[in-house]
Structure 1
């Protein structure tokens, strides 16, 4: 039976463009008949796992999502004195162990097209894997070690040596957020952390920010540039579910590492903001409210608390109303289905109660 940690987070962001759609405007969602601002789970997870805070906590156990592992291997072999043609050939073989290559068959010098040969094609594309691969530190090190062995013996990799993928590598981010490999599904990793899209608890509109820039050397002509971008502000609800049992399993039973990973994740969730247009809006915010629950019961989001958009009032802020709605929804679920968790603990900056350290101790217990 799995042991779950559920996190319910309320965070306020001043005017910002946290997560853009294909037109460059803030993402939105229609919920409860009202338009809301939205931040995708992919945006949030990337901000957390690439943050300085997260890296400082579990840096030795962080993988890399990349298509360019082959370029790393190629550069390493060149640095060890191998000639470029052999380095390219062997690096492509090693990269192909992690997924199909973007260019399966480079053009040979005998078959030139518009004067281009394999050596003249874009090196990056020749070494690029088709799909982004989440590579663990151990897998990357194994690839580089194989490259070094090949250079040392002057011979390319053997078939058995190219079995570089592993499900036993203890990469925290892979264990948390999973890995999907279309060409090697046996090495997929089921995510132990599920992250919902964050959305505003109230109605929200994308507004237009008209701006201009003045040419410092030509002030007589007025604006040197005129533009427009979208922005929005709001109080966001975010739901995160951690399967502690699966996380520890993914980390090869290392409970201490699993606890350290959960602590760093919680701190990142409460302190690290999406990186979209930070320089333009300085949209850095700490969580205003966090409710943590733990138990073996079937997890559930409390998003239903905000089907009716929160309004706030003269004597109660939108944050106060939102906290009350969350707590009421939790009570109603418990009345209907029985307790949905064994214990809970909250951090509430509105009331000035609780602490991040207390929450960390709670989820690690």
Structure 2
């Protein structure tokens, strides 16, 4: 892509009822201390997984984060060469991983099909297939050629969220997207639900519950933020796929939700407010709008929107006015171009990204 920066800011305000979207080690909803008060929090990793699961629902090819890469390579090698026995396929898989400097527990000794990598590896189906094809076609492996294969054919989620290989930084993939931890715009006080369960076959003359317990929950208006570096996404994919990928990411960031305790609380909601901003200078997280917690005023969403749009206008004293700023909301925006629905928003984003990338003469 041309040297000029191109960033997309994704801002969402979403009210979630009683829920436990993302638990800590005690089973309670995660929290954060911000502006001297306790906030509800949903980790970025939790929401990124929800986005990756949404990609699958949209039939978008996704990568795999797993320690089970050996078995994937063995399967791919034997598919290409059915005459290969398990031991030879395992040996070839070991050789591939050794050349790539990817740590595999007991590489040269363990002949067990279930052997695992030392750490999770994020890879795409295309990379596994092409690595296996290269190893099948070449008796002697070249580490530089292998490295090149591991860097290409990225799935959308790998191109967005990146990969780190501690033992071989040459295999790292720079993330093109950043996702912030979602936090509530206001103070949250933890609550607990005490529950009991009855035995349906309990005799009528027997009292008491068969079990009892408690579960922590909260309800909140969340501020969610992410940004996307289009230059980096084009570098990881190509111009056409980067535009399609950006639109898919925006759609599924807006609509997805972590599934923690969803059967218990049925907490799936839709955002009340979405702002998508295309910038050429720097991404801007507007969480500072809520450092002073929003006070309830017949709810939190309306005052949160007012506070957010005021903060957006304040930032224009420090950064360039964006190329484009769209708002999808239940109430008319005073700072952005209002759109009627999600389809219109995604169509407008596609049009602008296509025009900008064409004018900027993107180099794939």
TM-score of Structure 1 vs Structure 2, range by shorter chain:
0.7 to 0.9
Work out which of the residue numbers 102, 119, 130 in structure 2 matches 1:131: 119
Residue 163 in structure 1 maps to residue 163 in structure 2? no
Unaligned segments of structure 1, at least 5 residues: 107-117, 151-155
8 Å contact from structure 2 (residues 162, 172) kept in 1: yes
The yes-or-no answer on 1:346 pairing with 2:349 is no
* Aligned CA distance change for structure 1 residues 244 and 77 (closer, same or farther; 3 Å): closer
Q: Retained in 2: the 8 A contact 1:69–1:95? A: no
Alignment of 1:1-365 (within 5 A): 1-51=4-54, 54-55=55-56, 57=58, 59-60=60-61, 62-75=62-75, 80=82, 82-96=84-98, 97=100, 99-106=102-109, 118=110, 123-124=113-114, 126=115, 128-145=116-133, 149=136, 158-160=140-142, 163=146, 165-218=149-202, 220=206, 222-251=208-237, 254-314=238-298, 317-334=299-316, 336-350=317-331, 354-364=340-350, 365=352
Q: 1: distance between equivalents of 2:101 and 2:220? A: 42
1:298-346 CA deviation, whole Å, 9 max, x = no partner? 22211111111112324xx421111110110111121x32534232110
Separation in structure 2 between the aligned mates of residue 31 and residue 157 of structure 1, nearest angstrom: 57
**CA distance change for structure 1 residues 76 and 4 in 2, over 3 Å: closer, same or farther?**
closer
Contact kept? 1:146, 1:157, Cα under 8 Å: no
Summarize deviations over 1:250-273 as a string: whole Å, max 9, x none: 11xx22211111111111111111
Deviation at 1:40?
Answer: 0.6
Check whether the contact 1:194–1:242 (CA below 8 A) recurs between aligned residues: yes
SS at match of 1:354: coil
Please, what is the CA RMSD of the aligned residues? 2.5
Kindly state the Cα deviation for residue 98 of structure 1 after the two structures are TM-superposed. 6.5
Q: Residues 167 and 146 from structure 1, CA distance in 2 versus in 1: closer, same or farther, beyond 3 angstroms?
A: closer
Q: Secondary structure at the match of 1:266?
A: helix
1:75-101 deviation line (CA, Å, top 9, x unaligned)? 456673544433433333334437101
| Pair 353,342 (structure 1): closer, same or farther in 2 beyond 3 Å | closer
Q: Deviation at 1:208?
A: 1.4
What's the offset of the Cα at 1:195? 0.8
Over 3 Å counting, the alpha-carbon distance change for 1:247 and 1:78 in structure 2 is: closer
Q: How many residue pairs are counted as aligned between the two chains?
A: 336
Distance 2:153 2:75 in 1: 24
Question: Does the 8 Å CA contact 2:196/2:211 hold for their aligned counterparts?
Answer: yes
User: Which shifted more, 347-356 or 226-235?
Assistant: 347-356
Equivalents in 2 of 1:257, 1:76: separation in Å?
A: 26
